[in-house]
Amino acid sequence: MNVLRKYGVATRIRFPLVEAGAQDFKSGATVDAGDFKISKDDGAAVNPATTTPTEIVNIDAYYLPLSVAEMEAANIVIQCTDQTVTKEWEDQQIIIDTYGHPSAQHAMDLDDAIRGGMTALPNAAADAAGGLPISDVGGLDLDAVDTNINTLFKFIKNKKELLKIAAVWYLITYDDNSSTEIMRKAIKDKDGNNISDLVAGELAQELKSTV
């Protein structure tokens, strides 16, 4: 019989006993101290803190409580052996795998509905404050977002130049090397016409309406 329980958390292990030499569940079984032993990570089998199980009459089953310390192992084996000369019930082993701790059999924490105990992930629901970003319509491309942000920074911090070519004035922004153009914007007046010249007071007004 295999069960899964959280590492280092006190629990009850429920199990049936089967009548010796038969296939029926055994109710009212005689159990004595020493009939149940526990082994942590293949260590020596010892009596549990609660030496005998309690019967659950309504379902022909029993439970054995295990303490916090008894649950601090990757694998725990409960060995159930009827030590009487004429056995009442069949011997069996209950194998417990643990989860939710670096020393458990399974480090993932099944009780953590947000990130499953994986601490490299944010402890918040996706799309919530502090959580992973999502795309409501699909197609979120973080590489494209990174590229766009880097380009925006270049527009803000890199070298710029006003240059007149023929009859047109241009605002030019350069790449990090200060020589490769990444944007060339023609500067027009508010009516869309070329500006014949730039004089004091006109530049701010024209840039506001065109760039």
Question: Predicted confidence band at 209 (pLDDT cuts at 50, 70, 90)?
Answer: low
- Residue 198: is its pLDDT beyond 70? no
* 4-47 confidence digits (pLDDT tens): 999 999 999 999 999 999 999 999 999 999 999 999 999 999 99
* 127-156 confidence digits (pLDDT tens): 788 888 877 777 777 778 888 888 888 888
Q: In the numeric block, which tokens belong to residue 185?
A: 């914007």
- Residue 180: is its pLDDT beyond 60? yes
pLDDT of residue 41: 97
**Among 45, 56, 44, 106, which Cα is nearest to 78's?**
45
Taking the C-alpha atoms of residue 210 and residue 4, their distance in angstroms, rounded to an integer, is 68
**What CA–CA distances, in Å, run from 89 to 95, 117, 140, 148?**
18, 40, 61, 72
**What CA–CA distances, in Å, run from 105 to 5, 74, 77, 95, 102?**
10, 4, 13, 12, 8
| DSSP-based three-state secondary structure for 58 | helix
**Fold that domain 2-99 belongs to in CATH:** Immunoglobulin-like (2.60.40)
Question: Predicted confidence band at 211 (pLDDT cuts at 50, 70, 90)?
Answer: very low
Diameter of the chain by CA atoms? 114
pTM: 0.62
pLDDT of residue 133: 80
pLDDT of residue 187: 85
- Residue 82: is its pLDDT beyond 80? yes
Question: Predicted confidence band at 167 (pLDDT cuts at 50, 70, 90)?
Answer: confident
pLDDT of residue 205: 54
Spell out the domain ranges in the chain: 2-99, 144-210
pLDDT of residue 70: 98
pLDDT of residue 207: 53
Lowest-confidence pick of 19-28, 48-57, 73-82, 168-177: 168-177
pLDDT of residue 143: 79
> Mean of the pLDDT values across residues 67-77?
98
